[in-house]
Structures are given as C-alpha cells and as structure tokens.
Structure 1
Amino acid sequence: MNLDFMLEALGDRSSIALIGLLTGTLFGFFAQRSRFCLRSATLEFWRRSGTEKLAVWLFAFSTAVLATQLFSLLGWFDASTSRQLSSRGSLSGALVGGLLFGIGMVLARGCSSRMLVLAANGNLRALLAGLIFAVTAQAALAGILAPARLWIASWWTVAPETRNLLGLLGLGHGGGLLFGLLWAAAALFFARRARLFAWGLWGGIGVGLMVALAWLLTYQVSLQAFEPIPVEALSFTGPSASTLMLFLSPPGQPLDFDLGLVPGVALGSFTAAWRGKELKLEGFKDGHSMRRYIFGAMAMGFGGMLAGGCAVGAGVSGAAIFALTAWLTLIGMWLGAGLTDWLVDKQGRNP
C-alpha cells in the first residue's frame, strides 16, 4: 500500500492524525447507528434477556479479527511491532484492570467509547462521565494514581515473546481466521434469534472494519514515514487522556493518531444522530444516579489505564491481534460486568 503521496503532501504527523480522524468518524457513525456497546452485550449474556446487542458486538468483534488476520496473512500488516506484542506485559494489570473496567461500565451505563458516542448526541450524563474518565485515566498515567497503577502492574509480568497467543499455541494467522469465522457464525446465530435490524448488522461490521483498517494504515505509515509512528488501532483510554491534555497543556502538542481519533468519533456520532433525528439533551434524574456515574467513570479510567486498553482498545483491537493481556482484560470485563449487575441491579430487576 503506497501512501507516499499523502505523506509528502501533509507530512507524517498530519497524515497519521488524518487517519485517526477518518477512522474515528466512521467508527462513531457505525457505533451510533448500530448501538454498539460491550456493556449491553454483557448484560444480555448474563441476564439471558435477549441477543440483539450481543449479536452487534459479536459482528464487530469477529469482523475485526477476520480482517486483521487476513491483512496479516496477505503480508500487509505485522502486529509484532505494536505495543501490545513488543513490550513487557502485566497479567495482573490486565486482570485487575479488566475487572475494574467491567464494574465501571455497568455503573456508568456504558463503556468509554459508548460515552463518547452518547455525549456527541447530547447526553450530559455521558459527557460528565467521559470527562471524569479522561481525568482519572490521566491521573493513573502520570498523576496521583500512577504509583498505585505501577504497583498493581508489577505483581505479575510477562516477557514480550509470551504475549502472542497465536505464536504460543502454534496456530498462525490461518488459525486466527478460523477463530474469527467461529465468532462470526455465533454472531449470525444470535442475530437470527433476535431478528437483528439492518443497521445492527452492517453497523457492527463497520465498527470491526474500522479497527482492522486502523491497524493496517498505522502500520503502513510506520513503514513509509520518516518519523517514528506507533502501530496502533482504536482505543479510548490513552486517547481520551491525550485529548484532555491538549486543552490543558501549553499549545504545540504534536499531532498523532489519538488526537484525530477522539474528535472523529464525536463528529461521526453527531452526524449519525443528526441524520437519524436522535439529537437530544438528557441529564441526571437525581443525586444517586450522578454518584453512580461518577464512581463508574473513575473505575473505568483507572482500570482502562491499568489494563492498557478499554472495551475497544483491549476488547476488540488487542483481541484482534491475539495479545494475551488483551484477552485477559476482556475476560475481566465480562466477569466484572456480570458480578456488578448481579450485586447492584438484581434487586431492581426482581422486586
């Protein structure tokens, strides 16, 4: 894939920021139209109350796995240089962070990407929760919560060569494709049971394609750019903190993929809601609801930074390249969400 024209016309930094903006815009559009949300999928699974949101998430997940592994099989993409596979990882951080993130997304009634999508539609609850999420993530990265994050992450670490599940299991990218096909079959099964609406199907596929496309384009730019460009895909913990610091720090912060991604998602979601006549201002109904959202956003911010990824960053992007820590984080999210729903919301469902 030749990106020389774009790199020469815009420069390395502007090009990667534009890629973040474009993939983010399309992700936001597809996520808004499909109602893509890991929290909703986990609750349907644990409550056995339906399969519509579960099918949407499975379409996004399986598409990301299939497309990413296909790009790898064709030689267009190599995940070995990504942060998730090239650096030392923390299994304790992945497990504890995933659990905290799962707890937080149930309390805040949405994961970090869902909050950004809803905030762009006029949901003030999601806007406040998203801001608290970003502040907490920044505090966990380089602020008052950083020592706690580093301490938990140090409990159980692994070398880079043990983070690639496909390599550990000897499956290769062909095995990754087969695995993705199995999840795609599950998505079709649940979609048929739920009689999934058209945007649920195509929007979920679109979300997954944006994850794979981000992997492919950032890798190709990293090969052709003069400056070092990280190979990455969609994630919302680090990018939310980076975008927040863009407004709080002195001007001159260099452009990167993350700084294009967050505004792009907001733009795409706003456009989808505007076209669907779904723009609507919504606020909190009482103080208890506000406290719940605040605590949930804080748990997600710390948990996402501890785990090294959010519901999209670890649960879809990291899982698509079969990073061991990403899969542990995803498992932690499902367990944390199910346990929190059972402890906190069960009484409300069964008076």
Structure 2
Amino acid sequence: MDLGQLLDLLGENATITLAGLLIGTLFGFFAQRSRFCLRSAVVEFWNRQGSARQAIWLCAFSAAIIATQTFIALGWLDVSQARQLAATGSLSGALLGGVLFGIGMILARGCSSRMLVLAANGNLRALLTGLIFAVTAQASLSGSLAPLRQWLSGLWTIAGGAGRDLLATAHVGHFGGLLFGLLWLAAALHFTRRSRLPHREWLGGIGTGLMIAFAWLATYRVGREAFDTIVPVQSLSFTGPSADVLMLVLSAPDRPWDFDIGLVPGVVLGSFIAALWGRELKLEGFRDGHSMRRYIAGAICMGFGGMLAGGCAVGAGVSGAAIFALTAWLSLIGMWLGAGLTDRLIDHPERGQPTLSDPLKTPDTQP
C-alpha cells in the first residue's frame, strides 16, 4: 500500500497523527534504552568527567544530521518551507530562550523530552515537571506570559529565507552539511570506544537521531500528498506539542489531530515498552520540599525558554540543527552555556563533584 492509498483509507489527519504516533513510539523506545539526555552530556562536558553521555548525544546528533541531509541531497525532502527556515526568526529569543532552557534542565535534572521518557517509567518527579512545563509553555504561547515572550522575541529578529540557513550562508550546500555530520559521527564513535559503551546505548542513540530525520521525511511526504489538510513539514519537538496535548485534554475535543498530537503519547508508549522490557519500571517521588521547588523552577524555565527559543533540546537542539537553521544553533549554544554555568554555580558548591547521575537513579534529595 502506497502513501496515497493510505491517505484515502485513513484520511489525512489520521495518517499524519499515526505517523507521529509511530515515530514517537520509536523515539521513546530508543531514548529510554540509550538514556539520551542533553543535560547529562552538558554536565559531563563542562566537568571533564568521562565521555559516555557525550557519546550518546553525539550519536543521536550526528545521525539526525547525516540522515536529514542525505534525504535532502537525494531529492526526497525539501525543508525550505519549514518554520525554522522560512518564517521570521528571533535571534534574541534563540539566545535568551536557549540559556533559560539550559538553566531549567539543570534544575529539573533533565530536558523536556527526558522528563517525558522518565514519567513513562514511573518517575513522579518527571511527571510533575512535565505537567508544569506544558502549562508554562501554553502560558508563554497564548496566555499570561505571551506578552513578555513577544517582547523578548522582538528585540532582535531575522527575516526568513537564506539568511536563516547556515548552509546557504556558508555556500557549502547539503553535501557540506553531510560532511559536517560525518565529522561529528567520527567524534561520537571515538567517544563510544573510549567509554566502552554497551551496544544498546550507542545504537539507541543513533536510532534516536534517525527518528528526527524520519519525522522530517514523513511530514514532508504526507504534506505533499495531502489535498484537504495543510501538513507543515516539521520534525520532533516537545515544547509546542506538550502544550497542544495539554489543551486537547482540558478543552473541547474539536481540535483536528496532527503529527504533534500523535507524537507525545507515542513517546510515552515507547518509553514504557522499553522500560518494561528492560525491567526498569519503578515508582519514584519527591522526598522533601526543597527538591520539589527546584524541579518546579526548572520546569518553568524550560517551558518559557523553550517557547521563546522556538524549540526544546530536541526541537531546536537537534531537529532544527539538522537542517542548519541559524536560530536553532544559537539556541543550542545557549543551552550548553546556560546549563554549564548553572551546574557550576548551583550544584558544584553543594556537592563538590559533578552531577552526572541519570535522573532515573538520582535521589531527589540530592541537588
């Protein structure tokens, strides 16, 4: 059955929602098995404590770039109309939002996608953090925080088009982007060998990155075949989709289903299956008020920062970076800087050592 027949059978909205569900399920499975986490990679990098978490993140990052740029070079994918490239962008929002998001993911011990994965494993700290993140994201999009977000975004903007495309600006084309991804893959494999990562972790990291590329491809192909529904070309992100799913649950069910609506429950399902298979389902909660305040503050920073930056650690940090959107790379840089500085100022004075532990294993009584 080809795509046209599937669209005729299920309908356009159901087809793109199913694509989001399937890709989200695979992303959740691979992310859980690999322990893919930008926060852990950042802490490890700034504190020069090993390379295992960096290797996993780089496996996902390089795989997303290589696969996405390969699809484009082969003519299978066109991202010129993607929001990250075609629409007016905010350089101030990218930088400030990235820094805020980085601060938040240190305080909450994981980014928004990691919280979603952990919540599906029984981590109630991650569940509460994710809910507050979604509420803050919605408030930043169209609620009480929207005026502040709009003002900050308007401080420094850039027109859509070639000016937002780093490959066009550098005149290297998509083969240049492919070569860039291959260089990062070589670095990832080097770190993988040095840290002696289990196969499931580095392969899971590659699988995580491939899902980002396949999301670009799936939304583009469905959008090209659809007649009655506008399907924007997009990839994985968790700021806007988390807010959308929250509003779908809280409001009247009149919103048409789309890729994002399938994505979030798909990630939860995939992570749950992976944790069940690995016997890692475990109910965990808060142990004191101090840790709860920290997680709540982190969720608020991530919700507002992610919406201001135009994406989360996955949406801007990997999906947007895979198509070499200028604002996505600025957001990613901001996340690394904000997270590194926050870890240095808040966690190190209290513990005297880097906080590299996975949030799934770290008692919430620790900073």
Q: TM-score, normalised by structure 2?
A: 0.95
Q: Which runs of 4+ in 1 moved over 4 A?
A: none
Hey, what does 1:194 align to over in structure 2? 195
Per-residue displacement from partner, 1:85-131 (whole Å, max 9, x unpaired)?
Answer: 11000000000000000000000000000000000000000000000
1:143, distance to aligned residue in structure 2 (A): 0.0
Q: Matched residues in 2 for 1:192 and 1:341: separation?
A: 27
Paired residue secondary structure (2:55): helix
Q: Matched residues in 1 for 2:2 and 2:145: separation?
A: 42
Of 326, 329, 340, the match for 1:327: 329
Paired residue secondary structure (2:80): helix
What are the equivalent positions in structure 2 for 1:1-351 lying under 5 Å apart?
2-161=2-161, 162-226=163-227, 227-350=229-352
Q: Matched residues in 2 for 1:154 and 1:79: separation?
A: 25
1:2, distance to aligned residue in structure 2 (A): 4.8
Q: Matched residues in 1 for 2:47 and 2:100: separation?
A: 20
Paired residue secondary structure (1:191): helix
Per-residue displacement from partner, 1:49-96 (whole Å, max 9, x unpaired)?
Answer: 111110000000000000000000000001101110110000000000
Pairs aligned (count)? 351
Q: For structure 2, which runs of at least 5 residues remain unmatched after alignment?
A: 354-367
Per-residue displacement from partner, 1:264-297 (whole Å, max 9, x unpaired)?
Answer: 0000000000011110000112110000000000
1:349, distance to aligned residue in structure 2 (A): 3.0
Residue type of the alignment partner of 1:252? D
1:6, distance to aligned residue in structure 2 (A): 1.1
Paired residue secondary structure (1:79): coil
Residue type of the alignment partner of 1:192? R
Q: Matched residues in 2 for 1:67 and 1:275: separation?
A: 28
1:200, distance to aligned residue in structure 2 (A): 1.2
Per-residue displacement from partner, 1:207-257 (whole Å, max 9, x unpaired)?
Answer: 000000000010011110012111000000000000000011111211000
1:347, distance to aligned residue in structure 2 (A): 1.3
Per-residue displacement from partner, 1:156-204 (whole Å, max 9, x unpaired)?
Answer: 0001121000011101000000000010011011111110111111100
Overall identity of the aligned pairs, in % = 69
Q: Matched residues in 1 for 2:347 and 2:334: separation?
A: 19
Q: Matched residues in 1 for 2:96 and 2:138: separation?
A: 18
1:350, distance to aligned residue in structure 2 (A): 1.6
Q: Matched residues in 2 for 1:75 and 1:348: separation?
A: 53
Residue type of the alignment partner of 2:70? L
Q: For structure 1, which runs of at least 5 residues remain unmatched after alignment?
A: none
Q: Matched residues in 2 for 1:145 and 1:151: separation?
A: 10
Q: Matched residues in 2 for 1:71 and 1:251: separation?
A: 36
Residue type of the alignment partner of 1:98? G
1:139, distance to aligned residue in structure 2 (A): 0.0
Residue type of the alignment partner of 2:280? E
Q: Matched residues in 2 for 1:2 and 1:347: separation?
A: 58
Residue type of the alignment partner of 2:247? M
Residue type of the alignment partner of 2:24? G
Q: Matched residues in 2 for 1:73 and 1:55: separation?
A: 26
Q: Matched residues in 2 for 1:12 and 1:128: separation?
A: 34
1:348, distance to aligned residue in structure 2 (A): 2.5
